[in-house]
Amino acid sequence: MPFTVTITREPGCWDDEVAGRPLLEFQPERIYAVVDADPTLKFEADRKQSGYGTILYVGNPNREEVESGESAIWFDEGGLSAARPSDTLMEKMLELSIKLNAYMRDDHDQTYFLNKEGELDACDNLSDTLFIIGDKGVRYDIHPTGELKNLNLIPDYLAENHASFSEKARKNFVQKTPLPSGFVPLAGPVSTPCAHFVKFYEQNNREFVVVYYEACLAFVSGWNFIHKNNPEKRIPLGQDSEAITNEDIVFLYGYCKSFPRNKFALACCALMNMRSGKIHKVPRFI
């Protein structure tokens, strides 16, 4: 039996700077609303920590657990947690995690879920299928570092999850990485899915591979023109040599193979970041 089981919106302990987004948290108002709507739960406020407290599973069918205080779920900044929860309490916690679009994990890094038979089950590794679920149920695939795989979804992520991170966290993020107003229109090869470039590369269609690469160089040139008055944001184009060209093309193929549904413009952005050694703000493309 695990020592501690925790319900959290994030499947890992990320650094928000590395994740590049304000991390999802449980705001007290959301917890209050779920508890108030469930007659089997009761909230007791913590006198020392404003907004937080203890959730009591008063409807636990095992009355001995209620009387002995074993039906308590603690709510603090780290999420909802219980020490050595019984199977009955864990089932209730799983019900809560589903309502809250959250994960239920223990201190052995096991993640709990309901299997096909409707029974409590656990798995040890979600690293290959990491995702978070927004307030409206939208699924966002993420990297093992906590970053969104599709950076174009950042504006949607901020809009959808306004109730799942503080206004302070939102303002800090926007101040550090200001978003462009509206969309940036795209045309030509950079507007197509990365899967197209992968197809041409794997077919050894050098003509179209070069077309895509030249479109990428034009994209970088456009970026440099936009930032002509800001030298720090300009990207130095690689030397005009076959070795550099081949290296760039292999990098683009690796990115596109990993993210076939992303627009090719994002592969160009990744190449820009690699070549410059900096992480640049990525516009939202259409």
Residue pair 76/49 in contact by the 8 Å Cβ criterion: yes
Indicate yes or no: pTM above 0.85: no
Q: pLDDT at position 278, please?
A: 62
State the average pLDDT over residues 133-158. Answer: 85
Strands, E, within 18-177: which ranges? 41-45, 53-57, 72-76, 79-83, 103-106, 111-114, 120-123, 131-133, 139-141
Q: Could you read off the pLDDT of 182-195 as tens digits, one per residue?
A: 556 677 788 888 99
65-87, pLDDT tens digit by residue? 888 878 999 999 889 999 999 98
Q: Report the distance separating Cα 112 and Cα 91, nearest Å.
A: 10
pLDDT value of residue 78: 86
Q: How far apart are CA 139 and CA 122, in angstroms?
A: 21
End-to-end CA distance of the chain: 50
